[in-house]
Amino acid sequence: MRIGALEGGGTKMVLAVCTENGEVLERASIPTEEPAVTIPRMIDWFKERDIEALGIGFFGPIQLNRSASDYGSVTKTPKLAWTNTPVVKPFEEALGIPVAFDTDVNAAAVGEATWGASRGTENSIYITIGTGVGFGIISNGKVLHGMLHPEGGHILLQKHPKDTYQGHCPFHPNCLEGLAAGPAIEDRWGKKAIELADRDEVWEIEAFYVAQGIVDCIMLLSPEKIVLGGGVMHQTQVVPMIREKVKKMLGGYLSTSQLDNLDSYIVLPELNDNQGILGCAKLALDELQNR
């Protein structure tokens, strides 16, 4: 079976063909330009691949309510050229196959829950920390949706006592994304995260913010596994610091086998940056089955 996968990001679009067993057969990427340029290019690529279904994980916010008139569209977004752009409809009309649609981070959460670090669990969270911060939440075996979809990057945090940075988010002075995403790190310290690997003070502050977000998730959602992805988490020296701060912030309030072993509870992805496209493939398989 040949399944199409599209991981739509603000910088690039990753296109792939996968099998139902999680094997990536072919992969390509194109730059994210205006919709009138980018969408036809992607359609043309998939037209040549003989796929049976397509799963799309896209940057947001997006409309996931299937009864809404704008289902399958990007809604209000900082990427202004994409505001109110239909995504699902052009692919359905051009390809004539089932198309699944969700956020890019939800797709990554599905990929890790199906084939990666959180497989075998019913309740897991995938947090991506890169250009932005996003949360993908699997609850009772299903992707969590609601009024819209989780926007965990914008939960509000207590500022680190030594952090004088004003925050990078135009909406909130103290949200997780505005304080801990890649652009915030670069703006605060004047260098990219990869250039700051040996600066303990950088990762002390980063760990403080990420740990707060994780503790909020633990208290609200009680996940069985938390996976940390995204470009910032390539600086793996911060992960033990995050675990230690989570332990301290929990204050001994909860006692579970998972929390007794944070090394296997708060983990890095296992799918080598393929979690997004493999999650898209799983969404497409589910869509095909449901139809």
CATH of the domain at 194: 3.30.420.40
Burial class of residue 163 (count of CB atoms within 10 Å of its CB; 0-12, 13-18, 19+) = middle
Which domain covers residue 157, as residue numbers? 120-267
Task: Assess if residue 86 is contained within a domain.
Answer: yes
Band (26; pLDDT cuts 50, 70, 90): very high
Task: Assess if residue 176 is contained within a domain.
Answer: yes
136 with 143: CB under 8 angstroms?
yes
Task: Assess if residue 113 is contained within a domain.
Answer: no
Exposure on the CB side of residue 260, measured as CA atoms within 13 A: 3
131 and 95 part of one domain: no
pLDDT at 230 over 90: yes
Q: Can you give the pLDDT at residue 35? A: 97
pLDDT at 114 over 90: yes
54 and 126 part of one domain: no
User: Considering only CA atoms, which of 81, 85, 13, 95 is closest in space to residue 49?
Assistant: 95
262 and 125 part of one domain: yes
136 and 228 part of one domain: yes
pLDDT at 78 over 80: no
Angstrom distance (rounded) from CA 233 to CA 244: 16
- Report the pLDDT averaged over residues 9-34: 95
Q: Quote the tokens at residue 235.
A: 């600086």
**DSSP character for 86?**
B
Q: Can you give the pLDDT at residue 291? A: 80
Residues 6+ apart with CB under 8 A from 175: 153, 154, 155, 156, 157, 167, 169
245 and 204 part of one domain: yes
pLDDT at 50 over 90: yes
Laid out side by side, the sheet with 266-267 consists of: 142-143, 133-139, 124-129, 225-229, 266-267
pLDDT at 15 over 80: yes
Q: Kindly list the distances between the CA atom of residue 132 and the CA atoms of 140, 168, 182, in Å, as whole numbers in the listed order.
A: 26, 10, 7
Task: Assess if residue 172 is contained within a domain.
Answer: yes
Task: Assess if residue 125 is contained within a domain.
Answer: yes
239 and 199 part of one domain: yes
- Report the pLDDT averaged over residues 24-34: 96
Task: Assess if residue 17 is contained within a domain.
Answer: yes
User: What's the mean per-residue pLDDT of the chain?
Assistant: 96
Task: Assess if residue 112 is contained within a domain.
Answer: no
Angstrom distance (rounded) from CA 8 to CA 103: 9
Q: 228: which strand partners?
A: 127
Q: Can you give the pLDDT at residue 79? A: 81
Q: Quote the tokens at residue 135.
A: 């949360």
Q: Can you give the pLDDT at residue 250? A: 98
Strand pairing report for 124-129 and 133-139 = antiparallel
Amino acid at 12: K
Percent of the chain with pLDDT over 90: 93
227 and 277 part of one domain: no
69 and 141 part of one domain: no
- Report the pLDDT averaged over residues 230-243: 97
23 and 69 part of one domain: yes
Q: Can you give the pLDDT at residue 11? A: 86
- Report the pLDDT averaged over residues 246-252: 98
202 and 217 part of one domain: yes
Amino acid at 129: I
Number of domains in the chain: 2
pLDDT at 198 over 90: yes
Task: Assess if residue 115 is contained within a domain.
Answer: no
248 and 166 part of one domain: yes
158 and 131 part of one domain: yes
- Report the pLDDT averaged over residues 89-109: 97
